[in-house]
Amino acid sequence: MKNILVLLSGLLFGFGLSLSEMINPTVVLNFLDIFGDWNAALMFVMVGALLVTTVGFAWLLKKDKPLFDDKFHLPMSQHLDNNLLIGASLFGIGWGLAGYCPGPAIAGLVLGQMETLYFVIAMLVGIKLS
Rounded Cα–Cα distance for residues 62 and 124 (Å): 35
Number of H helices, E strands in the chain: 6, 0
Q: Residue 11: its pLDDT value, please?
A: 92
Q: Residue 2: its pLDDT value, please?
A: 86
Q: Residue 112: its pLDDT value, please?
A: 87
DSSP class of 78: -
Sign of CA dihedral 103, 30, 34, 15: negative
Question: Does pTM surpass 0.85?
Answer: no
Contacts of 43 (CB under 8 A, 6+ apart): 31
Q: Residue 29: its pLDDT value, please?
A: 92
Task: List average pLDDT for each run of 10 residues in the chain, which is 130 residues long.
Answer: 90 90 90 91 92 93 89 88 90 89 89 90 88
